[in-house]
Amino acid sequence: MNRRSRAQSSIFFRPESHSGKWRIFVKKSAEQGSGLSITNFNMPEQNNQIDRKTWRHPVNLWTGICFALLAGPPLSAQTDTTLPILTIRDARFDQTGFSAWRGDSLPVIGVMSLSERLLWENPLSVRANGPGLLSTISARGAGPSRTPLFWNGLNLQSPQNGVVDASLFPVWAGDRLEVRYGGQSAAQSSGAMGGAVFVEPEWNIQEGFSGLLGGAIGSFGRKEFMSGLGYSNSVFSSRIRINGLAADNDFPFKNTVRIGQPEVEQQNNRMDKLDIQQFNRLVIGDRDVVKTALWRLGTFREIPPAMSEAPTETWQRDRAIRAITTWEHSRDTRSLLQSRMAWVDEAIFFRFAGVVDSSRARTALFSSEYSAVSGKRITWKAGGTVIRQWAQAAGYGDPDRWYTQNRLAGFGMFEYRLPGGRITALLRQEWAEKQAAPFTCSLGGQVGWGGAGALRFHLSRNFNLPTFNDRFWLALGNPGLRPEKGYSGDMGWLYQKKAFTLEATAFHLLLDDWILWEPGADGLFRPENLRKVWSRGVETAGSFNVEMRKVKFRLSARYQYVRATSIAVYNGNEAVLHKQLVYTPSHSGSVVLRMEKGNASLAYLHQLTGNRFTTSDNSTSLEGFQTGTLLTTFRIPLKSMILAMDARLENIWNVPYQVIEDRPMPGRNWRIGATLFW
């Protein structure tokens, strides 16, 4: 709703005498026209900004919150019609920490990889080997195996090595992207020690048939296509989306390792990828919703040589199938039972020196949780999870055997809403086969200080289980490894006033029994619980919105300082004590300027990454770098369709840089595309 209509509309609830449920209405003034509608029901980030005096029934505050969370595209109805009965359809209050980054809409049409999206704005450290190559993520210096990635609530960390390849994860325009900072093992289980990344598609699609068809070309032989088709009504919705990408990635670079630093062309770097995702939602009566999500991923990637190596025919094939089914049952507007089943089957085939090795991992998951509202201020949730994992690899003791692990977890969460904020607490106990997972807990809160803003805090105990590779690798794995464990905490301040937002957070993360692969006396690398690591620092962010002559401007910026060091070692290697962890920049940040007028939008994104050490004793390092990205879109309305044109210019200043040593990144490059929506 615009400023005028928001002031002249009223939202109210009416009880249904026959069912005991409530209906929600928006009543328009005569100047706005007849009818009832709900459009952009904006929910403040802080629950304490709702004036409870305007809600005439004790359940309505929570009902309103749930409605705001679930509000999708604008809904409309004719005069004298009403909206369907409103029930709780989500109880997403598992966030005990309050420091987060949320990906805002950018002038992007189509698909980008998660590593690209995160590199543009730098909310956490992305360790990219090159375009299309392995890219991992790390929050607050915790490392890739302690920063999980969730898709539709499913943890995608590999049970074999504990990491996620962010370059293979597609992010479509409109997907919800969020980075939650701080230890979250109590809420998200093993691995969530420095932070976690969440991606979820938009479930609400326009009524009737809809679709898209588009393509793009770019530098270094880049070609891609995207298509989608969907159907939705009040009971059932379904859609499929497909993305294909092919690129040679044969960019030129200056090889600083060779004598004379000649300019050469990257070799053996082709990539082909096909990604298919399918989603369904079925509403059964006014109490049940069933959702399904299926993701089929297939890629082929050539692995280029490092700058100091000769070219070889090295390649990798990745295949993954991920399926999720969720059932939501709401007995009334004050409770929700949510159950989920998931199946993941992933395989990697790697060719090196003429030999092809393979590895495969499977995960079966069942979880169920019950959420309820008690009184006016209390919300609670309890549930459990059962996980069965299998892994098979040529490098294990028996390459034909499926190595297994069973995991069982139970948790409980409590939230108390204050007049100026909320306090949350969560407890979790997990049992892993032949591993003693520690009891974990967390306590978080956000308390308003009136016009001075809001104070927020978070304390948690965390853990990370050893991976299958850590335990079962032939002659090198260590079945006796202890889970990593530790504590984290942060305290911050948030100030919001109309179009201005400013936040600052100080954090610390203490991790003991850090698992590290290091060479022994025979020169072979083996995993051991070798260190205690302390990471601490500050994060600041701000944004400002203004509109001038019908042009909307948004300026945002963020900065992170991270000091992550080993404060104890258990193998006598004291040279690494009090030294910054490898590939962990002390300084990083970004600035984003966005402009929008009518059907046109433009954004400039500038990111900076400081020096990174490449050895544990900090004897060698990589120089820091800054890159800029320019994004623009233009939409052309047609009769019943929209034609959207978009363009990207990345590394606009043509900066030569490396994220990983001896792995060059491309210079200035472009991409242009067109997509038809209906």
Mean pLDDT of 26-31: 33
pLDDT tens track for 466-525: 999 999 999 899 999 999 999 999 999 999 998 999 999 999 999 999 999 988 878 889
User: Is it the case that residue 37 has pLDDT exceeding 90?
Assistant: no
Determine the Cα–Cα distance for residues 596 and 545; give it in Å rounded to an integer.
11
pLDDT tens track for 292-327: 999 999 999 999 999 999 988 999 999 999 999 999
Determine the Cα–Cα distance for residues 146 and 182; give it in Å rounded to an integer.
11
pLDDT tens track for 220-244: 999 999 999 999 999 999 999 999 9
pLDDT tens track for 55-96: 333 333 333 333 333 333 333 333 333 333 333 344 445 667
User: Shortest CA distance to 133 belongs to which of 117, 116, 147, 118?
Assistant: 116
Q: What is the pTM of this model?
A: 0.87
User: Is it the case that residue 18 has pLDDT exceeding 80?
Assistant: no
* Whether 320 contacts 346, CB under 8 Å: yes
User: Per the structure block, which two tokens stand in for 387?
Assistant: 């996980």
- In terms of pLDDT, which residue wins out, 237 or 34? 237
Quick one: how far is CA 39 from the chain centroid?
Answer: 27
Helices (H), 53-194: 60-70, 114-121, 185-188
* Whether 277 contacts 169, CB under 8 Å: no
Q: What is the DSSP letter of 50?
A: S
User: Shortest CA distance to 200 belongs to which of 291, 320, 106?
Assistant: 291
Q: Can you give the pLDDT at residue 523? A: 83
Q: Can you give the pLDDT at residue 420? A: 84
Q: Can you give the pLDDT at residue 435? A: 85
* Whether 670 contacts 216, CB under 8 Å: no
User: Is it the case that residue 33 has pLDDT exceeding 90?
Assistant: no
pLDDT tens track for 567-584: 999 988 899 999 999 999
Q: What is the DSSP letter of 117?
A: H
User: Is it the case that residue 34 has pLDDT exceeding 70?
Assistant: no
Q: Can you give the pLDDT at residue 70? A: 32
Q: Can you give the pLDDT at residue 90? A: 46
Express as a percent the part of the chain with pLDDT over 90.
78
Quick one: how far is CA 561 from the chain centroid?
Answer: 21
Q: Among 154-158, 169-173, 201-205, 241-245, which is the least confidently predicted range?
A: 201-205
Alpha-carbon torsion (154, 156, 158, 162), positive or negative:
negative
User: Is it the case that residue 389 has pLDDT exceeding 60?
Assistant: yes
**Cβ atoms within 10 Å, residue 493:** 15
**How far are the Cα atoms of 76, 168, 319, 336, 402 from residue 38, in angstroms, in the given order?**
7, 37, 42, 23, 53
Contacts of 87 (CB under 8 A, 6+ apart): 21, 286, 287, 330, 332, 333
Mean pLDDT of 173-186: 94
* Whether 646 contacts 636, CB under 8 Å: no
User: Is it the case that residue 143 has pLDDT exceeding 50?
Assistant: yes
First to last CA, the chain: 23
- Mean pLDDT score across all residues of the chain: 87
**CA-only gyration radius of the chain, Å:** 26
98: helix, strand or coil: coil
Determine the Cα–Cα distance for residues 468 and 158; give it in Å rounded to an integer.
9
Q: Can you give the pLDDT at residue 94? A: 61
Alpha-carbon torsion (162, 163, 169, 174), positive or negative:
positive
* Whether 291 contacts 283, CB under 8 Å: no
Express as a percent the part of the chain with pLDDT over 70.
86
Quick one: how far is CA 128 from the chain centroid?
Answer: 17
What single letter denotes the amino acid at residue 598? G
Determine the Cα–Cα distance for residues 280 and 291; give it in Å rounded to an integer.
6
Q: Can you give the pLDDT at residue 53? A: 28
User: Is it the case that residue 378 has pLDDT exceeding 60?
Assistant: yes
Determine the Cα–Cα distance for residues 446 and 181; give it in Å rounded to an integer.
15
Strand partners, 512: 485
In 440-524, DSSP assigns E strands to 440-448, 454-464, 484-497, 500-519
User: Shortest CA distance to 97 belongs to which of 562, 441, 565, 534?
Assistant: 441
Phi-psi domain of 20 (left: phi exceeds 0; alpha: psi -120 through 50; beta: other): left
Q: Can you give the pLDDT at residue 52? A: 28
Determine the Cα–Cα distance for residues 55 and 62; give it in Å rounded to an integer.
10
| Per-residue exposure over 158-187, b if at least 16 CB sit within 10 Å of its own CB, e if not | bbbbbbbbbbbbbbbbebebbbbbbbbbbb
Residue 650 CB-density burial (10 A; 0-12 exposed, 13-18 middle, 19+ buried): buried
Q: What is the DSSP letter of 531?
A: E
Q: Can you give the pLDDT at residue 451? A: 86
| Residue 164's pLDDT band (cuts 50, 70, 90) | very high
- In terms of pLDDT, which residue wins out, 521 or 398? 398
Determine the Cα–Cα distance for residues 191 and 145; give it in Å rounded to an integer.
6
Rounded to the nearest 5 degrees, what angle is found at the Cα of 11, between the Cα atoms of 64 and 447? 40
